[in-house]
Amino acid sequence: MPTSLPRRCVSFLFSLPKSINHIKQIHAHFITNGLKSPSSFAKLIEHYCAWTLQTPNHAHLIFQHFDQKPDLFLFNTLIRCTQPKDSILVFRNGFSRGDMVFDDYTYIFVLGACARSPSPSTLWFGRQLHARIVKHGVTSNMLLPTTKIHFYASNKDIASARKVFDKMTERSSVTWNAMIAGYCSQRQGSKKHAREALFLFRDMLVNENGIVPTDTTMVCILSAASQLGVLETGACLHGFVEKIVCTSEEDVFIGTGLVDMYSKCGCLDSAVSLFRRMNQKNVLTWTAMTTGLAIHGKGKQALDVLGEMVAYGVKPNAATFTSLISACCHAALLDEGLHLFHDMKRKFGMTPQMKHYGCIVDLLGRAGQLKDAYDFIMEMPIRPDAVLWRTLLGACKIHGDVTMGEKVGKLLLQYQPHQSSADMDPRSEDYVALSNVYASAERWKDVETVRQEMKARGILNKAGCSLVQTVNSDAM
């Protein structure tokens, strides 16, 4: 039996139209011909994982029964190609064996899996990996600290990501992009982190290594400008893109970022003009445009964009429907919004998600149909979350329905944690909203009762804040 097949023969086998049965036939062909090349079996693992995402059992068996075991190349391939939780389990099993010496690619792939599956347990595991990397001095590959940055940012530990970034003596554009994107992805304290992203972009422009921003950099930094709503900065970024990177009409992702930025910075006309000039549009572009129209209360125009989108051959996604129903909310288009909600499943085969139910509750609440909104929540096929009840409670206050507001407020307080912790602090907003409903009806004793409960539980009312942008007149 030959120990290997010609390379051209192996390439031909994998170039055939594939299904899971075809891959099994290729696997059997390798076994009957005595093929023992790790690179060929690594290719087989890739194809098994691609076709059996949920249970890639055959890929595991290839590694376990490979003659020249343990083979690090196959081990790394298995970690890279399987689903995140499975990748972590594969690494743990390999670590427990004690007979494998890992390289930098092993840690890169495992940390990448941790980044794709963020959770408290994943964050803890990734920190242990980081400690092991430092202990064994694995520092030869610049991609490793870059992956650490991505891992920490994905798990909402942006401070640790920045520490890794600051300690790097050498950085590539990928590294800068990972840190900037990490700041832009943080929901908690988003404006603060968006400002940090802009400061980091400024540092990138003046760095001594001559790193040039890429299209990925510009998409991320435009997102930061959108979050802050700083039109002057966004316009400067637009000019920088046109001069240094590419034309916004040619790059669909940068064009989409600019449409989003101009819309959220209050310059809808510029967003529409740029949208019309774009030579190529994807579902994100159309969604950005409908979102911009929704923000500015242009419900009718947003619905027209949906018709253009379908005629263009692009299928709307969940985010598109969120924007469209939101546009109907702001434009008081009750019937149109309900029609869109029913069309999601009936016409586009899309199951409504929690955010879509929330938009309908908001739509009914704004129209004063509070009982219908309450019944809609109670009849949902999924368990409502606190956000839905807060939306309805706000509508009750606006329309002065104290009876419904009291019922909803008491339901909402059931979502409060019984004991405060670092992960779940009681929300003062829910108590304040209920007390405001009582206050609007001049039920002062009930207001006092709610405030006393807040005091007894040590819940403090959080102060609001505003962002003020100043313009230097001398620079104009």
Is residue 198 a contact partner of residue 225, using CB atoms and an 8 Å limit?
yes
User: Is residue 4 predicted with pLDDT exceeding 70?
Assistant: no
First to last CA, the chain: 80
CA distances from residue 269 to 26, 158, 260, 298 in whole angstroms, order as listed: 57, 35, 12, 12
pLDDT at position 55, please?
A: 43
**244 DSSP assignment:** I
Q: Which has the higher per-residue pLDDT, 25 or 314?
A: 314
User: Is residue 285 predicted with pLDDT exceeding 90?
Assistant: yes
Confidence of residue 31 (pLDDT cuts 50, 70, 90): low
User: Is residue 18 predicted with pLDDT exceeding 60?
Assistant: no
Confidence of residue 404 (pLDDT cuts 50, 70, 90): confident
Q: Which has the higher per-residue pLDDT, 161 or 8?
A: 161
pLDDT at position 262, please?
A: 94
**Percent with pLDDT over 90 in the chain:** 37
Which residue, chain included where needed, has tokens 């002065």? Answer: 400
Non-local CB neighbours of 226 within 8 Å, separated by 6+ positions: 234, 257, 260, 261, 264, 265
Average pLDDT value for residue range 360-387 = 91
Query: In whole numbers, what is the pLDDT of the chain averaged over residues?
Result: 82
pLDDT tens profile 231-260: 999 999 999 988 876 666 678 899 999 999
pLDDT at position 330, please?
A: 86
**Percent with pLDDT over 70 in the chain:** 79
Measure CA 448 to chain center: 41
Q: Which of 137-151, 152-166, 443-457 has the lowest mean pLDDT?
A: 443-457
Q: Which has the higher per-residue pLDDT, 391 or 69?
A: 391
User: Is residue 200 predicted with pLDDT exceeding 50?
Assistant: yes
Rg (CA), the chain: 27
pLDDT at position 424, please?
A: 42
Q: How many CB atoms lie within 10 A of CB 476?
A: 6
> Which of 38-42, 135-139, 190-194, 414-418 has maximum average pLDDT?
190-194
Average pLDDT value for residue range 86-97 = 84
Whether a cis peptide bond, with omega within 30° of 0, leads into 70 is yes
Average pLDDT value for residue range 455-464 = 68
> Which of 7-11, 46-50, 163-167, 250-254 has maximum average pLDDT?
163-167
Is residue 94 a contact partner of residue 100, using CB atoms and an 8 Å limit?
yes
User: Is residue 186 predicted with pLDDT exceeding 70?
Assistant: yes
Average pLDDT value for residue range 380-385 = 89
Q: Which has the higher per-residue pLDDT, 22 or 217?
A: 217
Is residue 289 a contact partner of residue 268, using CB atoms and an 8 Å limit?
no
Measure CA 24 to chain center: 36
